[in-house]
Structure 1
């Protein structure tokens, strides 16, 4: 009986110790169409909806063209935090990148995403004339 009580107490402590959770305003940022070499910085905003301080331990991206910046201080319960992401907009074409967040939350690994299309401003299409055949 004593062993069962001890295990039950340990289980409750471990559950309450990981009661941190965070909710993003949006888990995907769509850049839409942006010009080549334009500002590639965007910000994910989240709220700590748990009852303990949320600590972002590490953030990784799926490639070197995406650089995330984590909050350095713990996010207190009920407070908002930011994760800034910079994408290298010198690479024309479509992109879809994953950013993985490692924290002390109930779910310790969370994936957020960015996507968009970088247009090549240097290429201008020749306007078509209504009078020509081409």
Structure 2
């Protein structure tokens, strides 16, 4: 993605430089090329300073729980990249799953818990939920999953038809 952006910036720069000249003198000067090389170097240096996410786990199975139970686990997120990690949002595939994430930037080497609570009220059978973090990493998002087998109030799994 960064390479695409860099290419677009470079092409835009070259277009703006050459579009102001008449057709007889549409040459790229050494100064133009030097400016492009400097912009490329700056972008490459910034690219090397991206945060990188590492989780202690990407799946958690609560096992068998009863309908109505609220269960909680933590996923530890660690920044193993060079730039500060910023998590700007965390959403689950269902409102029954609530993630709580760190609101402060994580510096290189720092880690923090992401608390995830699953409310099984109104659920039954095998449940699988995905949590998606919106981040400033190269991928722009990171995901992890929780699972549970929810028993009905009678203590038996629902029948499938």
State the TM-score, normalizing by the size of structure 2. 0.69
Taking the aligned partners of 1:118 and 1:7, their CA distance within structure 2 comes to 55
> Which of 128, 132, 148 does residue 100 from structure 1 map onto?
132
Instruction: Give yes or no for contact 1:59–1:102 (8 Å, CA) kept in 2.
Output: yes
Counterpart of 2:13 in structure 1 is none
Match of 1:86 among 117, 134, 153: 117
| Contact in 2 for aligned 1:36/1:118 (Cα 8 Å) | yes
The 5 A counterparts of 1:20-59 are: 20-59=51-90
Aligned residue in 1 for 2:106: 75
Equivalent residues of 1:21, 1:107 under 8 A apart: no
* Segments ≥4 residues shifted beyond 6 Å: none
Give 1:37 deviation, angstroms.
2.6
**Structure with a larger share of its residues in strand:** 1
Equivalent pairs counted in the alignment come to 123
1 or 2, which has the higher helix percentage? 2
2:92 corresponds in structure 1 to: 61
**TM-score w.r.t. length of structure 1:** 0.81
| Rg larger in structure | 2
Q: Say if 2:98 and 2:116, in contact at 8 Å, map to a contact too.
A: yes
Pick aligned residue for 2:143 from 111, 130, 133: 111
Give unpaired runs (5+ residues) of structure 2.
1-32, 157-161
Change (3 A) 1:30 1:124: closer
- 2:159 matched residue in structure 1: none
C-alpha separation between the residues in 2 aligned to 1:64 and 1:97? Answer: 10
- With CA pairs under 8 Å and 6+ residues apart, which has the higher RCO, 1 or 2? 1
